[in-house]
Chains A and B, each alone.
Chain A
């Protein structure tokens, strides 16, 4: 279909107990053009191989940061990755343009449902607001920040719900690999959960 390449960087400090993430990954791991990296398994000691990580980024067109949303944020290894790999003069700064034009998005599993991530809700802010720092990180590196895909209420999902999220995740990945996406239009969406497969076809493909 396309020769776009996607890099999924998966950060989970306790993956062995996460049934939701296990299922989510099952759907995308083997897809054509996808490179899946289980980061806590690769760098249990936080000694990230900077050169290797940068080389991987260069090889791919899209990056997904896939992680649980602990304390409204990413796990520490992902922060370590951001700190070390996105070097000044490489990813940002006047000469740092190595990532310019690449697409990046967050895929998160969140304990709370959408209703608590509201100004009136318990968490006061929306997911998208909490994710601001990642969006700006992408901006600083001149990358395109795509709407996040959120699996809400992940602690209490039924098996059939998880199955649905898995399919949806795979569909999103599939969709993003397509050449003819109107990315500007797509960026206006708050998160992928708002749109369904049927809508993607019509609304977000570039019109010839």
Chain B
């Protein structure tokens, strides 16, 4: 094709910019948007790009590597330990059962060789971490049971890839010296794969424990943001290169490195530096997946492909459903869990590639399975969307009728509370204690069922969806409370409500100052910052501990809160107008400085004359 790098980049990014927003608007999620963009620019629709789609996919696989590094970062040993039941139980069970069923299929029904059947079975047991995590985050499902369980299962799979990748060469019945043409020390590496993997893992553990943190510390001292970004990238790329050299998956090395950095002081820095790269590369990866779908093959043997996709997804779904049932999930959560993980994931590409290069299966079979994986990746977001749109909705409607002490569905409440986590539920309880019932919106279906039983009027779903707000009676209500945990969702909700339900009085939870600034910009009038009261009143107790009288400290605290609120609105107006998502450290410091200057002015202009006898004694 001879297209330049710039041209390709433009086509890929342009397609994503057109289709992803559309997909988001339609509520089908960004993953599907990227894949559709890929299909459209791919050789079978417009043909903007030709076969280089595959090369781009390989490049973009680095997004998966980064994603695993970031997942690793989130997982310090404690949280890992807390999730052990889910990870080992659900993950292990899913892997085992799925692999067994697939093995039966490949070995007995399709009569592959014993070893090949094992390799293929393990390959198809994988689900797509990239798709599922993106979906969880976007639909705000990470806190639900299905979300947590999915994450655990994926984690198990991601870890399991290491041994599987190590086993596959052993399963291949190929003489070692034919396998590769690398010479010297690399040849030695290839000869002893198991030892190599062990050594490589040990090297990474060593680096993670003793080298990375001092290195990052040293870079951080230079105080150049771009250098830190560079070092974060260097770290991930370096680890990946090392692992690739050893012939193991780069993604796993990155994951391991991430876990080792999870407890370091640089965790958040690393996260915020790598997040944008990861996002773009993953998007590119999905787009490339879309563009490499071999429609020729599909047109050629449509029935076989569709059959295979359906069969594979059915096998996976059955196992997932059984696993979810064993771990006692609600029906609706079972279904969500099943649909979330029913596709074959990106690791299968890698494993299948390895199986292919070892000549365990032939080229047409390889092509077929590659197509099957891709199509399953497209189908699962669609299924999830359909479930959310119809099935879950219908099921809930049916379920409503059976619940005792049920709130009056016909009547409406004056107050709608969006989000019923710790913040929202405390508010709801307080209102209820005073005889005020509120309509509650939440996207955790377990929580929803529980609340229903307690007689709350609860709607399940994403509060930033118009139909949900409408169903909750937003048109008739007077007050809308947003107690959502995710600041972006808060902003989204305020925009939506301002546009469609301008009559609603808004009471919004804000995580912090920065969050509050954005809500002020949105014109929200009643903003409640989470931390201000707790931290100032903690200060009261500390002053008291230091010997100050409690009432004086409390008066000071209340004055301080009033002052802080004034400063909030003042600084919101004069704030440096940064629309960028990445608020630079410099700017944050500038804000802090302004705030401290306000504090100074406050202290200087507010002498405390209450019950002060000193002046009277001095003058009279």
Contact = CB atoms under 8 A, between A and B. Distances in A.
A70 interface: no
Contact of A88 (B555, B558, B609): B609
Contact of A89 (B558, B562, B611, B615): B615
Interface centre among B555, B562, B609 (most CB of A within 10 A): B609
Contacts of A50: 609
Interface string B609-620: 111100110011
A47 B563 CA distance: 12
A89 B620 CA distance: 11
Nearest to A85: B610
Contacts of A76: none
18 contacts: A47-B555, A47-B558, A47-B559, A47-B562, A50-B609, A83-B610, A83-B611, A84-B610, A87-B609, A88-B612, A88-B615, A88-B616, A89-B619, A93-B615, A93-B616, A93-B619, A93-B620, A94-B619
Given A47-B562, A84-B610, A94-B619, 6 more contacts: A45-B558, A50-B609, A83-B611, A88-B609, A88-B616, A89-B615
Interface string A86-117: 01110001100000000000000000000000
Contacts of B611: 83
A96 to B, nearest CB: 10
A103 to B, nearest CB: 25
Interface in A20-52: 45, 47, 50
A47 B620 CA distance: 29
Nearest to A48: B610
Across the A-B interface, the 9 shortest Cβ-Cβ residue pairs: A47-B558, A88-B616, A84-B610, A87-B609, A88-B615, A94-B619, A45-B558, A83-B611, A89-B615
Interface string B554-595: 010011001000000000000000000000000000000000
Interface of A: 45, 47, 50, 83-84, 87-89, 93-94
Of the four ranges (under 10, 10 to 19, 20 to 34, 35 or more), the interface on chain B belongs to 10 to 19
Interface of B: 555, 558-559, 562, 609-612, 615-616, 619-620
Contacts of B562: 47
**Chain A interface, DSSP helix/strand/loop, else mixed:** loop
B305 to A, nearest CB: 69
Contacts, number: 22
A83 B562 CA distance: 20
A35 to B, nearest CB: 23
Contacts of B616: 88, 93
Nearest to A84: B610
A119 B489 CA distance: 69
A117 B35 CA distance: 88
B29 to A, nearest CB: 46
Contacts of A87: 609
A94 B562 CA distance: 32
Contacts of A84: 610
A22 B620 CA distance: 44
A165 B612 CA distance: 40
A131 to B, nearest CB: 23
B281 to A, nearest CB: 52
A84 B610 CA distance: 6
A84 B558 CA distance: 15
B387 to A, nearest CB: 48
Contacts of B610: 83-84
A166 to B, nearest CB: 31
B584 to A, nearest CB: 37
Contacts of A45: 558
Contacts of B612: 88
Contacts of B609: 50, 87-88
A50 B558 CA distance: 13
A93 B620 CA distance: 8
A88 B558 CA distance: 23
